[in-house]
Amino acid sequence: MTNVTTKSDSFEPATDTAAHLFDNWFDPIEIGVRERVREFIEALIRGELDAVLARPRYGRAKNDDACPAGIVGHRHGSRTRSLTGSFGKTEITVPRARLQTSEGGTTEWHSKALRTYQRRTLTADALIAGAYLGGTNTRRVRRALAALFRGAVSKDIVSRVWRKIKSDWDFWSARSLAAEPIVRFILDGTVVRVRLDRKATSISLLVVIGVREDGQKVLLAVKNMGGESAEAWRSVLDDLIERGLRRPAFLIVDGAPGLERAIAAVWDGVSVQRCTVHKHRNLLAHAPERLHEEIGADYTDMIYAATPEDIATRRKAFVRKWRLKHRPVADSLEEAGDRLFTFTQLPPSQWRSARTTNAIERLHEEFKRRIKTQTVLPSAETAAMLFWALLASGQINMRKVDGWQTLATKPIDQPIDLAA
């Protein structure tokens, strides 16, 4: 018979390791701060009321020019409010007062620091929303933030915060675009995976990014339309036009046939640039892998040449070479036509930003990095909303485009002479 014995690997005495790991995690600084939060908030609100009434509690009103004109009122007790913030949940006493109106009546005074019916600070709501946007569900958010909020945040509160985000999303989706000085569009579709009917499903989101006169990129629309057909893209563009968006001067597209037809129906005659990155991928798809490096080198030399003349010369050389070596590659390049080189009509300082739809692809990569779509996206609408929310919450930032002085001086309602 074999005896099996176990022995602790720790060199510490058994009496030292018997205690639970977190039993002695007492932080006097954290405890001290939290205990003083209540009196700090109460002092802040009392100071606000003192300033409105121009006198402290039990004090007499001053009769000088420093007093706010026409403000007369009196205190009348206080009420208890519960407030949850990054400091946890605390009970505070809020003073009450009534102010006289110009009509001879009175009205209740409301603090500007503490909104009416406010139960959580904006920082607390941002933490809850950020945890949800990070790729988890309501119950996991509650457990993750339990220590910070001391159990004051339930899954119902998480749901209410998310519904507030949903209302902001609905407002953003219907906002007027008449005042947006957009001169350039970047349009592309991107695929995300969501859980529908308990199965992981791929859906397409149609994304439109605008570039303002000062070069700042801004998200204009992100919608799930069931695919990238001409009808789907037409619906997205019609919605932007109905909300006041003006005719752009320049479009950057991925070359999808449905998008091309929708643009022709809505903005016929607008200069269109085919994405050079998408075309590079198309060329590689038409050739065996052993030719990819050579194709990529020739294509890069052509697209990133310094002048329009150099680009035109290398374009002819590319077609001549690959028509003999591997004709499908040359045919694929010629399929794009002059739209692949529309960027050469712009000032060279803007070529880099006008060649690709990479802004949308980078946005999608950031989206995938932050969101675990298998667990938190129950619908296509949620996917589009999360795409927007990551930008609205500042978790993803869009950079300005360099070399934008040329377009910044042109009126938005007049076509830009791209040949100038």
Q: What is the pLDDT of residues 266-299, one digit of tens each?
A: 998 899 999 999 999 999 999 999 999 999 999 9
Indicate if the pLDDT at residue 326 is higher than 60: yes
Percent above pLDDT 90 for the chain: 25
pLDDT of residue 200: 72
Q: Which tokens hold the place of 297?
A: 């080198």
pLDDT of residue 151: 64
pLDDT of residue 410: 37
Write 161-168 long-range contacts (CB < 8 A, 24+).
Answer: 161/120, 161/125, 161/128, 161/129, 161/132, 162/129, 162/132, 162/138, 164/125, 165/129, 165/385, 165/389, 166/385, 168/392
Top pLDDT among 158 and 282 is at 282
Percent above pLDDT 70 for the chain: 77
SS3 49: helix
Mean pLDDT of 30-57: 82
| Greatest mean pLDDT range, 160-169, 322-331, 388-397 | 322-331
The whole-chain average pLDDT of the chain stands at: 78
pLDDT of residue 150: 67
At 269, which amino acid appears?
G
**Cβ–Cβ < 8 Å for 247, 412:** no
The model's pLDDT over 189-225, given as tens digits with 9 standing for 90+, comes to: 888 777 666 677 778 889 999 988 888 888 899 988 8
Across 148-162, 309-323, 360-374, least confident range: 360-374
Across 127-131, 160-164, 228-232, least confident range: 127-131
pLDDT of residue 85: 79
* Among candidate residues 36, 66, 37, the one with its CA nearest the CA of residue 51: 66
Top pLDDT among 306 and 393 is at 306
pLDDT of residue 352: 82
Q: Report the DSSP pairing between strands 73-85 and 88-100.
A: antiparallel
The model's pLDDT over 63-93, given as tens digits with 9 standing for 90+, comes to: 544 444 445 788 888 888 888 877 778 888 8
Rounded to 5°, angle at Cα 255 from 251 and 258: 95
Indicate if the pLDDT at residue 4 is higher than 70: no
E strands, 140-249, are 182-196, 199-212, 217-224
308-325 vs 327-336: helix crossing angle, rounded to 10: 140
* Among candidate residues 262, 276, 249, the one with its CA nearest the CA of residue 336: 276
Band the pLDDT of 226: cuts 50, 70, 90.
confident
Alpha-carbon span 274 to 281, nearest angstrom:
13
In which element (H, E) is residue 84 found? strand 73-85
Band the pLDDT of 12: cuts 50, 70, 90.
very low
pLDDT of residue 280: 93
Indicate if the pLDDT at residue 5 is higher than 60: no
380-392 vs 358-370: helix crossing angle, rounded to 10: 100
Write 295-301 long-range contacts (CB < 8 A, 24+).
Answer: 295/322, 295/329, 298/322
Band the pLDDT of 22: cuts 50, 70, 90.
very low
Mean pLDDT of 179-184: 89
